[in-house]
Structure formats: structure tokens, C-alpha cells
């Protein structure tokens, strides 16, 4: 037999009994303390688990709020970019219309000046040896209007965004520097027959 068989009855003296009782008390006290520590550890683990669960919930809520905020800001930025693009497109259309109107005014001014100059040259060529008369240019505007027109043409000619062929620019510069003036030409004279 590997284990000893305890006797059915053991005689203990008072000293041995007291030692055994003290040892049993120490063992019982240690077991109770370990049980209490184990319960404390269990409570701490439960508390930590609850804290981790609450923090995870808070992180999830913060992530959802952050995602919603980012989406709102992105939508707002996209809307602003869209509005800005529409405004830029409208401004581009307005600038194009203004440039087209400027070209039309330039062409009209050049055409009118060329017609006036051609008419004056024709009259002068046909009446070189006739009586001098005043042939005013057919412009129905006062001096202030003419000066404003000259200033406008000067701005259009000097503007970098106005494109025009060299003959047109030369004609405009001529208009600015020497506006049409009344010209003296010769007209036929009719002498009365002598009586």
C-alpha cells in the first residue's frame, strides 16, 4: 500500500490539539481571504467590462456623429462649388455678350466712318472746281456725346480683350485722333446770263 491508513482513533494531548486547531483556523482564514479577494476580482472585472462596453458605445456614437458632420460639410462645400460654378458661367456669358456688343459697336463705328469718308471723297472728287460749301458729317450728336463716344472707342481699342484686325484698329485710332469735321468742297456755280 502506498498510502497510510489512519487509525480509527487518535489520541491527542492538549498541546497537539491546540496546534492542530490553530493550523485549521489559519487555513480557514486564508481560504476566506482568498474567497473575498476572488469576489473582489470578479466585481472589478465586471466593472471594467461595463466601462469598456460604455466606452465602445460612446466611441460608436462619436464616430456616427463625426461621419454625419463630415457628410453635411461635404454636401455644403459641393453646393457652394456648384453655386460658384453657376455664377462663373453667368459672368462668362455676360462678358461674352459685352464683348460681342463692343465688337458690334466698333464695326458700326468703322462702317459709319468709312461711309462718311467715302461720301466726302466722292463729293470732293465731283466738285473740285466748284463753289466752296460746307458739308457737315451726318452725326446728330452734340460735342459732349461725341467726346464720350471717342473716349469709349479709345477704351475699346486699348483693351486687351478686344480683338480686331489691324485695319479696324487703324481706323479707330484715326477716329480718336481726328474726328470727322465739316469739310469745304467746291460746288458748281450758275452764273446769270448777261442781259
**3-state SS of 89-157?**
HHHHHHHHHHHHHHHHHHHHHHHHHHHHHHHHHHHHHHCCCCEEEEECCCCCCCHHHHHHHHHHHHHHH
pLDDT by 10s per residue, the chain, length 195? 445 665 566 666 677 777 777 777 787 777 777 777 888 888 888 888 899 999 999 999 999 999 999 999 999 999 999 998 888 888 888 888 888 888 888 888 888 888 888 887 777 776 665 555 454 555 455 666 667 777 777 766 666 545 556 666 666 666 666 555 544 444 444 444 444
Answer whether residue 44 is part of any domain. Answer: no
- Tell me if 11 is assigned to some domain: no
Return the SS3 of 142.
coil
Q: For residues 30 and 35, what is the distance between their CA atoms, to the nearest angstrom? A: 8
Q: What angle do CA 142, 143, 146 make, to 5 degrees?
A: 90
Question: Does residue 19 fall inside a structural domain?
Answer: no
| Residue 34 within any structural domain of the chain | no
- Ramachandran area for residue 162 (φ above 0: left; ψ -120 to 50: alpha; else beta): beta
Asked if residue 159 is part of any domain, the answer here is yes
Range of the domain at 147: 96-187
Distance (Å) of CA 41 to CA 26, 151, 158: 22, 95, 90
Tell me the C-alpha distance between 130 and 125, whole Å.
11
Q: What is the pTM of this model?
A: 0.34
Kindly state whether residue 52 falls inside one of the protein's structural domains.
Answer: no
Q: How many domains does the chain have?
A: 1
Q: Is there a domain that residue 25 lies in?
A: no
DSSP 184: E
Q: What gap in Å lies between CA 10 and CA 88, rounded to an integer?
A: 110
Q: Does residue 108 lie in a domain region?
A: yes
Amino acid at each position: 500500500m502506498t498510502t497510510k491508513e489512519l487509525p480509527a482513533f487518535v489520541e491527542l494531548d492538549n498541546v497537539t490539539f491546540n496546534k492542530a486547531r490553530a493550523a485549521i483556523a489559519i487555513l480557514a482564514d486564508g481560504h476566506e481571504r482568498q474567497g473575498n479577494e476572488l469576489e473582489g476580482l470578479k466585481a472589478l472585472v465586471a466593472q471594467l467590462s461595463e466601462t469598456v462596453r460604455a466606452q465602445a458605445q460612446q466611441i460608436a456614437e462619436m464616430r456616427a456623429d463625426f461621419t454625419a458632420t463630415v457628410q453635411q460639410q461635404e454636401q455644403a462645400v459641393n453646393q457652394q462649388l456648384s453655386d460658384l460654378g453657376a455664377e462663373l458661367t453667368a459672368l462668362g456669358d455676360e462678358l461674352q455678350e459685352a464683348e460681342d456688343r463692343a465688337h458690334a459697336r466698333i464695326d458700326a463705328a468703322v462702317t459709319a466712318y468709312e461711309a462718311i469718308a467715302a461720301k466726302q471723297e466722292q463729293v470732293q472728287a465731283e466738285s473740285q472746281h466748284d463753289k466752296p460749301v460746307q458739308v457737315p458729317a451726318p452725326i446728330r450728336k452734340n460735342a459732349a456725346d461725341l467726346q464720350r463716344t471717342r473716349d469709349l472707342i479709345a477704351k475699346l481699342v486699348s483693351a486687351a480683350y478686344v480683338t480686331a484686325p489691324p485695319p479696324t484698329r487703324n481706323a479707330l485710332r484715326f477716329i480718336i485722333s481726328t474726328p470727322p469735321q465739316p469739310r469745304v468742297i467746291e460746288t458748281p456755280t450758275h452764273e446769270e446770263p448777261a442781259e
